[in-house]
Structures are given as C-alpha cells and as structure tokens.
Structure 1
Amino acid sequence: MLSIDFIDETNEVTEKETSLITGLLQFAAEKEGIKEECELSVTFVDNEAIRQINKEYRHKDAATDVISFALEEMGEGEVEVVGMEGMPRILGDLIISVDRTKEQAEEYGHSFERELGFLALHGFLHLLGYDHMEKEDEVIMFTKQKELLEDYGLSRE
C-alpha cells in the first residue's frame, strides 16, 4: 500500500489528476510485488523551480520534466539505518514540472493526464531502482513503463 503526499506549488493539478497518479502508482507497486507500506512525495512545480533543482542537484541548468530523489540508494560510504521495523518504507520524492508536462503532452499529441501519469510512473520506477543510463537498462525500464501504462489503460492515444 502506497501513501503519497502531494504538494502542488502550481495550484494547477486537480484532485482527479492526483487520484489518477495514486491509482497508477498503486497498480505499479502491486505489479512490482511491493507488499509493505511505502511512502513517497510528489511535488508539482513550474519550469523555473525544476530548473533550479536540476541545476543544484544534477548540475544541469535546464528545465526537465521529472526528477526523482530515491532514499533507498545505498552508495559507498552510506550507512544503513536500523531500528526502523514497523515503519513504512520511504521510497523518496518525485518533482514534476507541470509546464513541461503540458508542453510534452502537446508535443506527443496526447492528453495532459496521460503525460502526467507517464512522468509519475517514470519517476516511481527510478525510486524502485530502475535506470536507463545503459542501453540494456533502458530497454528493461521503458518496456516496463509501456506495459504498466497499457495495462492500466493509459497507453498513448
């Protein structure tokens, strides 16, 4: 079961759209075999805000569509937190640009809702450890995205 904390800094995302994201990510979590309680946040921002975040954390001075901050990535020198039994698994944070979502929906010729669902799912898969830096990983992640979106009924129109 996913618990999603939505923060809309744009005041543009409707309850219907957050419900769509909740349903899609719950569906994806079930398909991925996630059984435990999990938490994540989804923050909706404009292009300027995501550009600043992208510049600060990824050293890319450009607006992007979605940024994922996974809290479970165990890198070299990181310490595993113990004593968290019974607490929800915290997956991380997604930041989605509403401006880029609109632009890309128009560019790809589908609905804002479909693009928003795609970006939320893409970011969610990153939180689960999927990546697309290498060609083999890209094929795996993008195939999974496409299948989940189609199975949920959000395929490209």
Structure 2
Amino acid sequence: MSLYFEEEGALQLPLPCEELAKRVIDAALDYVGCPYEAQVNLLLTTNEQIHEMNLQFRGIDRPTDVLSFPMVEYGEPGNFDFLEEREDCFDPESGELVLGDIVISKDKVLEQAQAYGHSAEREFAFLIAHSVLHLTGYDHIGEDERLVMEKKQREILEQLQILR
C-alpha cells in the first residue's frame, strides 16, 4: 500500500499521523477484502481549508471533519470483482489500485476527540477508517447503510485495539 501524505497548517496533532494512517488503511482494506495493493492520498489540513473544500465540492458552507474523494465508482460496496477489466483504475507505474483522496481537518480531530471523550489517536483512526470505507464504495445516506458503516468502523478499530 502506498500512502501519499501531505500536511498543511501550523497545528500539529500529538500522534504519528502518517504511521497511524498506514496502519488503519491497511487494516480497513484487509477488513473489506480488497485483493489489490492500493494507493491513497491523505491531506491533513485546517478548518479553514476544509471549509473551502466542503463548500466547493459539496455545497456545504462549514468546516467538516473528513472529506473522501473516491476514484472508483462501485456498483456494490466492497465488491472489487469488476476491477479486473478496468485498467484505468490502476496506477500504470506501480500497478496499485488508485482508491482516491482523504482530507482531514486537524482542528476537528482535536475538537471531536475532546467532545466525544476519547483520544486524538482514536478520533484520527476513526476518520481514516470511515474514509477508507467511502473509498471502497460504502456510504451512510440511508439508515441501513449507516448501520453497516458504523459496524465496520467499530470492528476495524477493535481489530487495531484503538478503543474509546
């Protein structure tokens, strides 16, 4: 798995972000049964920047905790079978499946960790797991979808022993 990591803004999270992101992405991809080596871009940014992105891409005029930009459209969440016929989904140099981009607000990681009464590590890991599920076709628009995603997120974090 290749992680392309970038960070903006002066605020630093009190944890090894790149290392933790790799662990969570690997665990999430194993959990959903991704049969390919994959590539993910991760940007850690500020509330101001993610606010602009949220407005630009989703039409929502406020900061958010995480944005996910999948590069692949899945007919069925977590079903990778159709990708064998889709060369355009793979990096021609590395052969890795290009999953997409994750953008996380460092400000929100700290705010939400405090609000939910758990560590910044747990909040960051949760947002990464949540986003990887989006990058592999899962969503939470409907109640049934939300319950499926919540269960998967919880189980991924439990496997990693990153608990509340």
TM-score (norm 2): 0.85
Unaligned runs of 5+ in 2: 76-84
How many aligned residue pairs are there? 151
Deviations along 1:3-46, whole A, 9 cap, x unmatched?
11110112524672221121111111112212312101110000
Runs of 4+ in 1 over 6 A off after TM superposition: none
The equivalent residue for 2:42 is 42
The equivalent residue for 1:4 is 3
How far did 1:82 drift?
4.1
Secondary structure of the 2:39 match is strand
Matched, 1:68 2:76: no
The equivalent residue for 1:152 is 160
The equivalent residue for 1:59 is 59
Write the distance in 1 (CA, Å) between the matches of 2:14 and 2:38.
23
Q: CA RMSD in A?
A: 2.0
Secondary structure of the 1:40 match is strand
The equivalent residue for 2:81 is none
Residue 27 to residue 74, structure 1, CA distance change in 2 (3 Å): closer
Write the distance in 2 (CA, Å) between the matches of 1:128 and 1:105.
25
Unaligned runs of 5+ in 1: none
Residue 32 to residue 81, structure 1, CA distance change in 2 (3 Å): closer
Which residues in structure 2 correspond to 1:4-153 (within 5 Å)? 4-11=3-10, 12-13=12-13, 16-73=16-73, 82=87, 87-153=95-161
TM-score (norm 1): 0.88
